[in-house]
Amino acid sequence: MFTLVVPDQFLKTANKFFNRHPDLISQLIKIIEILINDPLHPSLQLHSLKGKFKGLSAIRLAYKYRITIIMQIEKKEITLIDIGSHNNIYR
Domain residue ranges in the chain? 3-89
φ and ψ at residue 38, rounded to 5 degrees: -155, 80
**The pLDDT of residue 82:** 93
Q: What's the CA gap between 13 and 73, in Å, rounded? A: 25
Given a cut of 90, whether residue 77 has pLDDT beyond it is yes
Q: What's the CA gap between 66 and 61, in Å, rounded? A: 5
pLDDT band at 89 (very low <50, low <70, confident <90, very high): confident
Minimal CA–CA distance to 49: which of 73, 31, 69?
Answer: 69
pLDDT, average across residues 8-20:
95
Q: What's the CA gap between 10 and 83, in Å, rounded? A: 7
pLDDT, average across residues 31-47:
94
CATH assignment of 3-89?
3.30.2310.20
pLDDT in tens, 52-73: 999 999 999 988 999 999 988 8
